[in-house]
Amino acid sequence: MCNWEMGPAGGDAVSLGLSFLLLDAQELLHSDLQFAEPPPAPAPEHDALIKRYVAVWNEPDAGRRLDAVATLWSEQGAHTNPEATYVGHAAIYAEASRVFALCGARGQRFRCAGRVDGHHGALRMDWELVDADGASVLAAGTNLLLLQPDGRVQRDLQFNALAQRLK
Dihedral angle over CA of 93, 94, 100, 103, nearest 10: -130
**pLDDT recorded at residue 89:** 98
Distance in angstroms (rounded) separating the CA atoms of residues 3 and 17: 6
Interval 5-30 mean pLDDT: 76
Mean pLDDT taken over the chain: 88
pLDDT band at 163 (very low <50, low <70, confident <90, very high): low
| Residue with the larger pLDDT of the pair 165 and 44 | 44
Interval 58-64 mean pLDDT: 97
Q: What is the pLDDT of residues 118-160, one digit of tens each?
A: 888 999 999 999 999 988 999 999 999 999 999 999 999 999 8
- Residue ranges covered by each domain of the chain: 2-37, 44-162
**pLDDT recorded at residue 4:** 63
Distance in angstroms (rounded) separating the CA atoms of residues 44 and 118: 11
**pLDDT recorded at residue 167:** 45
Amino acid (one-letter) located at 77:
G
Domain 44-162: which topology? Answer: Nuclear Transport Factor 2; Chain: A, (3.10.450)
- Please state whether beta strands 153-162 and 73-80 pair in parallel, antiparallel, or not at all (unpaired): parallel
